[in-house]
Amino acid sequence: MKFFKQKKNKNIQFHWKIKRKCLDLILESAKSVYPNEFGGLLRVDNEKKDTITEIVILPGTVQGETHAIFKLHMLPIDFSVVGTVHSHPSPYPRPSNADLLLFSKKGSIHIIVAIPYNYNSWKAYDYNGKIVDVKVV
């Protein structure tokens, strides 16, 4: 469950989902760049705004052993982008201080995948770094 504030300061309940094919692509992408971090953006379906269906790879994203740096200025205006995804080349999908700073600046949901990059080694967070439940559909 997720709560976020709309412009009118009304709290609304939000349930996130992710398509299995999208999660599979995230996990495989993380495996393919190991020991570097993988990074991308999360896009929702235009009709089902609570369902993550795609990842967007920004041009110029820098992927290193301890970081994935997003060139957010390269993102075109795209209201279907709702957050970020990146990998950790460790077994801990906990956000670092740098991750929390990114979360607070861009999007309302963020996914971190960790070694061994499987269905049990990822977590989702809101813009404050609080764990969010995401259903795989």
Name the more confident of 110 and 77.
Answer: 110
* 128-132-133 Cα angle (round to 5): 175
Q: Please give the pLDDT value at position 111.
A: 97
Q: What is the pTM of this model?
A: 0.81
Q: How do residues 127-136 score in pLDDT, each as one tens digit? A: 999 999 999 9
Question: If pLDDT is split at 50, 70 and 90, which confidence band does 79 have?
Answer: confident
For 11-75, strand residue ranges (E) read 11-14, 16-18, 39-44, 51-56, 62-63, 68-69
Highest mean pLDDT of the ranges 19-23, 65-69, 76-80, 101-105: 19-23
Exactly one of 28, 37, 47, 54 is catalytic; which is it? Answer: 37
The tokens of 81 are what?
Answer: 């982008």
Nearby residues of 47 by Cβ (< 8 Å), 6 or more positions away:
none
Q: How do residues 16-71 score in pLDDT, each as one tens digit? A: 999 999 999 999 999 998 998 888 999 998 888 899 999 988 765 666 566 566 66
Residue 37 designated active-site: yes
Q: Structural domains in the chain?
A: 15-132 (3.40.140.10)
Burial code (b: 16+ CB inside 10 Å, e: under 16) for 80-95 equals: ebbbbbbbbbeeebeb
